[in-house]
Chain A
Amino acid sequence: MAGNVKRMIDLIIDQRAKGNPALVKLTKAKISLKGINPDKYTETSEDNPMAIEKLKALAEELNIKLWGDVL
């Protein structure tokens, strides 16, 4: 399976920023500072288990359901 990291990042940014460009930028910066560079992941990127774990934890914190939509 590939592309899950990008899908998770996109979903988290969508949910957190709700289309506000400043919040998109802010959320992207926060994810980058967790060690996950959103620009490095595409639909075909191999799934990185460490990134997936960090994003799962973040999604849980934000009450974002990933399972039905992404994984």
Chain B
Amino acid sequence: MNIKTAYSTEKNIELAVADLKRQLNGFDPRMLVVFASSSYAQEELTAKIKNGFASALVCGCSTAGEIVSGKMLKESVVAMALNGKVIGDAKIEVIDNIKDLKKVKDAFDSFSRYYNEPAAVMDPQRYIGLVLMDGLSKAEEKIMDRIGDLTNVIFIGGSAGDDLKFTRTYVYGEGKAYTNAAVLVLIKPQVRFDIIKTQSFAVLERKFTATKVDPEARAVIEFDHKPAALAYSEALGVSMDDLNNYLMTNPVGLLIDDEIYVRSPAQIKGTSILFFCNILEGMEVSLLESTDIVGDTRQAILNKKKEMGEISGILNFHCILRTLELERKGQTQEYANIFAEIPTIGFSTYGEEYIGHINQTSTMLTFGTERLDSVESEK
């Protein structure tokens, strides 16, 4: 086995790290990915984990709930250890001021030097990126946009959480915990890898065009030249007073080649709608209606298994709104069971990253078992 997972619900950091070490005893990780509840003292936790796994590249973030094969947890720490047969190489960069976009370019210059290949021409079939960001920064769209300009390599990940306290989130890089920061890891895997992006929504006929926005506040002030909340309530056929009951079940989505990039309303403010990610002026979005998270996820995993032959590990960046919906419907364990037989870790995010910043989605990085060089030679 080249990918192993571990978890601990010990509250004491020393005991939690010892617990992880015991479960990973005898395994030599090249890289360790860690997701942990904000209930732990973040600096102490990350330092002790790095100390315990000194030879591995260690990255991760704080969460709003953790996922490990067959379980959805709270107030725990989960870890995935990947050895050198999976991770050929990996380079981590910390953007310690997430609002400073020049630092994204600096990070990619560093990646280019490290791999001796310009990031702009790196082959997305040979490299994959992980991105973890401060979930309260509202900077994710700009960072993802910048990454997209600098490379064709896909960066997948999520926005760190803090157990719905909405006070402070952390990303982890090599034994340090950072706030107002992002961590980028550029990986050169040895085995086949792929991506799953799944969201559970039907696209309804009603479309809106954002005609007045405040992007810094992620606010839509007008849809179709009408107060946004009014246009949204008319489309749903409900009163403005009832809108809060529909925000989670009826977000909107940007459709690109029939792929949905969900934008979830966070709250109604006056007659504006505040979203969890940006809708830019002129963007056309469709009204969505929630469907079956468990069924859709199960199918997405089955489809990927068929494509890849076997899945040896999954990193699951799972929107907190999906977690809340699963809790509301009493389907948490049913969802966790989908991953019971596959080494999986993940967390409930404050936003997901795939090409851009999205909501109410699971973005997953999947590793197979087939070596990349054998996949290449078959082509």
Residue numbers of A with Cβ under 8 A of B are 16, 22-23, 25-26, 28-30, 32-35, 37, 50, 58, 61-62
The complex places the Cα of A37 from the Cα of B261 at a distance, in Å, of 13
Give min CB distance, B60 to chain A, whole Å: 26
With A16-B152, A26-B355, A28-B256 as contacts: A33 and B282 at CB distance below 8 Å: no
Docked complex Cα distance between A37 and B256 (Å): 8
> Quick check: A33 and B152 within 8 Å, CB to CB?
no
Q: Which of B120, B145, B284 contacts A33 (CB 8 A)?
A: B145
The 7 A-B residue pairs with the shortest CB-CB distance, nearest first, are A35-B280, A33-B356, A30-B148, A32-B256, A61-B149, A29-B256, A29-B355
Q: Bound state CA distance, A58 and B145, in angstroms? A: 10
B358 (CB) vs chain A CBs: closest residue: A33
Question: How far apart are B376's CB and chain A's nearest CB, in angstroms?
Answer: 15
Residues of A near B216 (CB, < 8 A) are: none
Whole-angstrom distance from the CB of A63 to the nearest CB of chain B?
Answer: 8
Question: In the bound complex, do residue A29 and residue B259 qualify as a contact, i.e. CB atoms below 8 Å apart?
Answer: yes
Of residues B120, B256, B282, B355, which shows the largest number of chain A Cβ atoms within 10 Å of its Cβ? B256
Least distance between B7 CB and chain A CB atoms (Å): 34
Contact: A34 with B257, CB < 8 Å?
A: no
Given that A33-B145, A34-B145, A35-B283 are known contacts, is A26 also in contact with B256, CB under 8 Å in the complex? Answer: no
B281 near A33 with CB under 8 A, answer: no
Are A33 and B261 touching (Cβ within 8 A)? yes
> How would you classify the secondary structure of chain B's contact residues: helix, strand, loop or mixed?
mixed
**B254 within 8 A of partner (CB):** yes
Chain A residues positioned under 8 Å from B280 (CB to CB): 34-35
Complex contact B149–A33 (CB within 8 A): no
Q: Write out the residue numbers on chain A whose beta carbons fall within 8 Å of the beta carbon of B356.
A: 29-30, 33
Complex contact B152–A32 (CB within 8 A): no
In the complex, the chain B residue whose C-beta lies closest to that of A38 is B256
Chain B residues whose CB sits within 8 angstroms of the CB of A62 once the complex forms? 120, 149
The answer to whether B254 and A32 touch across the interface, beta carbons within 8 angstroms, is yes
In whole angstroms, how far apart are the Cα atoms of A35 and B254 in the complex?
A: 10
Report the Cα distance A37→B280, complex, angstroms. Answer: 11
The contact sample of 22 A-B pairs, CB cut-off 8 A, is: A23-B124, A26-B152, A28-B256, A28-B257, A29-B259, A29-B261, A29-B355, A29-B356, A30-B149, A30-B355, A32-B254, A32-B256, A33-B148, A33-B254, A33-B256, A33-B355, A33-B356, A34-B145, A35-B280, A37-B282, A37-B283, A37-B284
Q: Chain A contacts of B148 at CB under 8 A?
A: 30, 33
Q: Complex Cα distance A58/B149, Å?
A: 7
